[in-house]
Structure 1
Amino acid sequence: MPNPDPRHVSILATGSFLPGDPIDNATLERLCGALPAEVLDNIQVRQRHWMIDPATGKHGTGTNTMAATAAQRALARADIDPAEVDLLVVSSASPEYQLPAVVTYVQEQLGLAHCASIEFRAACTGFVQGLDYARRMLADGTYRTAVVIGAEAISPLLAPMYLGMDPESVRMRDRLVINSFGDGAGAVVLRAGEPGSADPDGEFQFATACLGGDRKPGMQIVGGGTHEPVADQAKRKRLVEMKLDVSGTATFGPKVFVAGMRDMLTRTGLTVAEIDACVLPEGNADYFTAEFDAAGVSPEDQAVLAKNIVENLATVGATGSAAVPLALDEGWVQGRVRPGDRVLLLAVEASRYLYAGLSLRWEAPAPGEETANVHA
């Protein structure tokens, strides 16, 4: 039954964590060979952060710690004691262990002996799906304070593509993958108000769908699962391997974005011009914008989106579950997401061509200089 006294739910603060120093394209060129300049321009990633040492593959941190650190920073900005958190939600496609779930390690690092802990095993869309799940649990009074986290550690899958090899012998398609991805984590803190405080016309609108049920995966991580005997997997050159359908993601990915955008506009009744900030990681990359015309995005809407898209692909790379919260955190800190703004979070995931969108009215004032985001 619908809750007769739904609670208003607010995002109080965001936080993020990017491991290590930035790794520029020149560094990767020395390690795995060069990409053609036009390819680098197309993917638009100038630097990224990895949890591994790119020269040795040694781990400097892990998914669990990155997620917990982002949560701690968000809680500090919100002035919320971790002990007040009664719901933790984490999305990740790169857990340190099959079990226990990443979210339970975050719970441990936050010092919470008892907490509702939910995990979404997903990439880009998982954070938005998790955020909607958490806000529903707060709106109906099940919980009061939640932290939602997206965390990804992709670099351990990239290192075997080039370590111990002559850079010139690294396959061009592997160089493309290596240059595209980064690691990191982002988090948001949500809190519910008093019963009956919600806007009766609705405060959030959510949509998600998979458009790839009849297509081969755009991205697939194979290995370490139950698809074939472990003994057979151990014979492969790489125990865990990332496979990317470059042409498929470049041509079909923008169509998934357009479908998600249309779905959200229909549900909200908004026009593109009425969205103040569209948090869309990768939204300004050439492989998206080059397909907008063919996918049916009008020139007028393209012009509006170009001004209102909040993204940071160039400085962090493609970061999976962390992509939306990292972009949101940077946009909030830089003043691109302001109180009163109508914000649309829209994630597009290549794995099976999914999207997840969530619209909301932003309330949190910009953080002070003393709490501005820093890279570790």
Structure 2
Amino acid sequence: MPTTTDRHVSVLSTGAHLPGAPIDNARLADLCGPLPEEVADGIQVRSRHWIADPETGSHRTGTSAMAVAAARQALDRAAVDPSEVDLLMMSTASPEYPLPAAATYVQEQLGLQRCATMEFRAACAGFVQGMDYARRLLADGTYDTAVVIGAESISPLLVPLYLGQDPQRIRMRDRLTLYTFGDGAGAAVLRAQPRDSARREPERYAFGTQCLGGMRRPGMQIVGGGTDLPASEQARRKRLVEIKLDVAGTTTVGPQVFHTALRDMLARSGLALSDIDACVLPEGNADYFAEGFGDVGISGEDRAALQKCIVENLSDVGATGSAAVPLALDAGWVSGRIRPGATVLLLGVEASRYVYAGLTLEWEARTPAGTVRHA
């Protein structure tokens, strides 16, 4: 059921950062060969941004730098000085180093001598998990102002799949991976305030997360650089670090995870689907995802309602892991798609172990000045 707390927590603003110029499908076709048209249409990605130079593989920025850029934009929009931040939470599966945590490098670049930092490694679900944890710590008075960030750099694992090779000889399964993923960072600023006694009702807020893949093979796995084998044995692998994607598994199980997540969040919040104004679901319009809704029991009426409220930007940025939900949230807010008074459902679904995280909240932040409003 929805929870109530002693202090009211608001999302003041969001921010986003995408590295470099967009890389469209035509350019990828030159680098690694084309995808069949029906396959490209199914994944829905038309362009993406990479930290890696697609021609040389050199890095033009990094995960922490992108996170800082997104955080600074969010703070500027909220008119909050970085010195006011006392809680910094970050989700990423692609830090520059195993230790120290990437969040501490963000802290350093924001100029914060002291700050609480926490980091999640839960890919698409991590930002939503971080939003919930931050909200609880603000609501109970532990901290006052938080920045929650999702950032991912996937391109360093992608460029080695084709660099120095004949594009026509790249395997189709590798091309599918190359066309799917992008890099980026998104952030949100949260602040706690005394609860307004004039509010007629406490805000409706609910959170839920589960891992549904405990007995399944991973839908996605990044192998290398860990402790699964001695370093000397890892060095003999074809690639030091490699991304493995179970395409059949993710296309089959992904909609099942979403259906479970949606039912769970509606039950926890007491909301009906018609009550949701914006469902931030980054992959909700991908054909392989949406076409499976009927198979898992989502009715035609509910699918129609979902299509009206889904907020996503997959075609513009690709699948971006930890950055997916905050990038879509930012795009929805700055376009005017998400407006004050809207009931918002944030829903992250990740494929590595089929984890979902969802939360509902009432949106309060006004559309930032100088942005394009959605009709």
Shorter chain as denominator, the TM-score bin is: over 0.9
| Change beyond 3 A, Cα 1:273–1:5 | closer
User: Cα deviation per residue 1:233-272 (whole Å; 9 max; x = unaligned)?
Assistant: 0111100000000000001100000100000000111111
Corresponding residue of 2:212: 211
Corresponding residue of 2:289: 288
| Change beyond 3 A, Cα 1:200–1:227 | farther
Cα distance in 1 for partners of 2:290, 2:203 equals 32
| Change beyond 3 A, Cα 1:246–1:193 | same
Cα distance in 2 for partners of 1:280, 1:154 equals 20
Cα distance in 1 for partners of 2:365, 2:188 equals 11
Determine if the alignment matches structure 1 residue 224 to structure 2 residue 225: yes
| Change beyond 3 A, Cα 1:145–1:199 | farther
Corresponding residue of 2:116: 116
SS at match of 1:8: strand
Indicate if the aligned counterparts of 1:123 and 1:320 stay in contact, CA closer than 8 A.
Answer: yes
SS at match of 1:193: strand
What amino acid is aligned across from residue 79 of structure 1 in structure 2?
A
Corresponding residue of 2:57: 57
SS at match of 1:216: coil
Corresponding residue of 1:247: 248
Corresponding residue of 2:318: 317
User: Cα deviation per residue 1:197-221 (whole Å; 9 max; x = unaligned)?
Assistant: 6987454200000000110000000
Corresponding residue of 1:184: 184
Corresponding residue of 1:300: 301
User: Cα deviation per residue 1:286-343 (whole Å; 9 max; x = unaligned)?
Assistant: 0111111111101001001111100000000000000000000000000110000000
What amino acid is aligned across from residue 45 of structure 1 in structure 2?
V
Cα distance in 1 for partners of 2:167, 2:229 equals 32
Indicate if the aligned counterparts of 1:45 and 1:180 stay in contact, CA closer than 8 A.
Answer: yes
What amino acid is aligned across from residue 69 of structure 1 in structure 2?
A
Unaligned runs of 5+ in 1: none
Cα distance in 2 for partners of 1:67, 1:356 equals 21
Corresponding residue of 2:150: 150
| Change beyond 3 A, Cα 1:5–1:357 | closer
Corresponding residue of 1:262: 263
Cα distance in 1 for partners of 2:89, 2:36 equals 40
What amino acid is aligned across from residue 207 of structure 1 in structure 2?
G
TM-score normalised by the chain length of structure 1: 0.96
What amino acid is aligned across from residue 159 of structure 1 in structure 2?
V
Cα distance in 2 for partners of 1:195, 1:252 equals 41
Counterparts of residues 79-94 of structure 1 (less than 5 Å): 79-94=79-94
My pick for the range that moved more, 82-91 or 285-294, is 285-294
> Following TM superposition, where does structure 1 have runs of at least 4 consecutive aligned residues deviating by more than 2 angstroms?
195-203
Cα distance in 1 for partners of 2:201, 2:118 equals 28
Unaligned runs of 5+ in 2: none
Cα distance in 1 for partners of 2:43, 2:293 equals 16
SS at match of 1:208: strand
